[in-house]
Amino acid sequence: MKKLVLSILVLSLMACKEENDDKVKVVDKDGSVETKVHITHLTDSLDVMKTENIFWVKNKDVKRVVRLDTIPALGVSDEQGENSSGQDSTVKIKKNYQIFITVN
């Protein structure tokens, strides 16, 4: 019985090993939609989000749709850092948006 419990525990731990199978290395260009999202800081109060959709049919880029949206900036955060002389200092860094894409 102990061997069975130990085997189940070992198999469970092996199954929990983090692998990111969702990461795409190559886009299937036979029939797909490729989406790129990029956010840049425009001013202290505004960011720009660029969304680009590329439609692939039979290995051809048949259409591209680019959309630019002005969105509010998230402000700045204080981060501890070290300069080239090795001195600790507080640096203000602009906050970045987290990007989540939901596919239905």
- The overall average pLDDT reported for the chain is 84
Structure-model confidence comparison of residues 3 and 23, the more confident one: 23
pLDDT in the model for residue 39:
95
61: which strand partners?
Answer: 56
Q: Which pLDDT value is given to residue 21? A: 64
DSSP assignment of the chain equals -HHHHHHHHHHHHHHT----TT--SS--TTEEEEEEEEEEE-SSSEEEEEEEEEEEETTEEEEEEEEEEEEE---EEEEEEE-TTS-EEEEEEE----------
CB distance 103 to 33 below 8 Å: no
From 13-22, 23-32, 34-43, 74-83, the region with the lowest mean pLDDT: 13-22
pLDDT value of residue 72: 96
Q: Can you give the pTM of this predicted structure?
A: 0.66
Q: Nearest CA to 41 among 72, 79, 66, 67?
A: 72
pLDDT digits (tens, 9 = 90+) for 75-95: 999 888 877 788 888 888 899
Q: How confident is the model at residue 29 (pLDDT cuts 50, 70, 90)?
A: very high
